[in-house]
Amino acid sequence: MERRNFLKGAAIAGVGAATLAAPAIAQSSKTMTIVSTWPRDFPGLGISAQRLAARITELSQGALNVEYFAAGERVGAFDVFDEVASGNSQAYIAADYYWVGKHPGFAYFTAVPFGMTTVEWNAWIKFAGGQALWDKISGEFGLKALPCGATGTQAGGWFNKEIESADDLKGLKMRIPGLGGSVMSKLGVSTVSLPGGQIYENLVSGAIDATEWVGPYNDYFMKFYEAANFYYTGGMHEPGGGLSFGMNASWWGSLTDWEKAIIEAACMEEHAAQFEEAMAKNGEYMAKLVNDHGVKVRAFNDDVWDSFGEASEEVFAETRDHSPLAAEIDDSFQAALRDIGGTMAKFETTFVNQRNRVLGLT
């Protein structure tokens, strides 16, 4: 590939890498091992991770030679954090709310109940202090994280019965991680955090009664409808947010500015692409779920939403009490939510609501 073509490609990726002079490619490239929480060729999330890994090699012209391992190929899905923090691998692709057991502040760098949509979260991360706080919490564990994917507002989940009140949640066994899982626990749900590749078998066997995953495009291929036929639209637990490209901090520090720019460019490109792909395909796959498999689409009523809200207040109070850093992250997040979200409500939300009313969109 000619140098001018490489620089053009880096510019398309969305950062200023095109302004950097690409160094001569060394005789020996650096090997970069990436481990993931997603199974290989997993529709949506898994394919996105593989696409990102390949893009880093492509943009760097092989200077960064990526070896990608899906969940279970090198380490288990939930072992990728320790794998990278220890330096055994250089990077992971995951949802950082999987690590709330290490520090609850990690949840804010995926999604939290009643939190930010993807667009709002992006604004906080890039321009309102979110990345600095992500660096701070990741740095405590020897990591450096960048956003590398987003799914938009996720579905409320798959249930084997209708949820008409908070009482209907009591006693359910549900796969739901992060602070959203903590909210459900407050409402009497027995929650578990399973990697994506293990959800279907647990749902079909009856080990769990319900699960959340992503949205219609990602969920269609999981075949959850074979065991839970009620599918709830937008949920409180993951209004947006993103996925993490978590790197070993020492390894990141050893890279040249050009190598860092390549990784940042590839991550930014895939962060946008995964979100836009989901937005483009969700409607198509929602129709398939309903028309081809008889899925019953429902929405939580206001009483259930109010119960979610009350439980969320308790969860946030407990999260803040964990540590000064958790409180600092929550302060920043909530302030940005009210600023960015409040402004969006006056413009984007007003427009969308009125557009949908005039055009009869549902």
Contact 41, 72 (CB under 8 A): no
Residue 193 in any domain: the answer is: no
Does residue 101 surpass a pLDDT of 80?
yes
* Whether residue 127 is found in the same domain as residue 11: yes
67-84 tens-digit pLDDT: 999 999 999 999 999 999
* Whether residue 264 is found in the same domain as residue 340: no
Residue 62, CB-side half-sphere exposure with 13 Å CA sphere: 7
Q: How many angstroms separate the CA atoms of 303 and 306, rounded?
A: 5
* Whether residue 336 is found in the same domain as residue 267: no
pLDDT band for position 24 (cuts 50, 70, 90): low
Residue 293 in any domain: the answer is: no
Long-range contact list for 201-205, CB < 8 A, 24+ apart?
A: 202/175, 203/158, 203/175, 203/227, 203/228
What total of structural domains would you count in the chain? 2
* Whether residue 244 is found in the same domain as residue 360: no
Strand, coil or helix: 334: helix
**Maximum Cα interatomic distance, the chain, rounded to a whole number of Å:** 65
Q: What CATH number is attached to the domain comprising 125?
A: 3.40.190.170
Containing structural domain, residue 114: 3-150+240-279
> Could you give the C-alpha distances from 5 to 13, 18, 54, 87, 268, in angstroms and in order?
13, 10, 17, 34, 19
pLDDT band for position 241 (cuts 50, 70, 90): confident
* Whether residue 120 is found in the same domain as residue 50: yes
What order of strands is seen across the sheet that includes strand 210-211?
190-192, 173-175, 210-211, 155-159, 230-234, 296-298
* Whether residue 19 is found in the same domain as residue 88: yes
Residue 205 in any domain: the answer is: no
* Whether residue 245 is found in the same domain as residue 349: no
Residue 245 in any domain: the answer is: yes
206-226 tens-digit pLDDT: 999 999 999 999 999 999 999
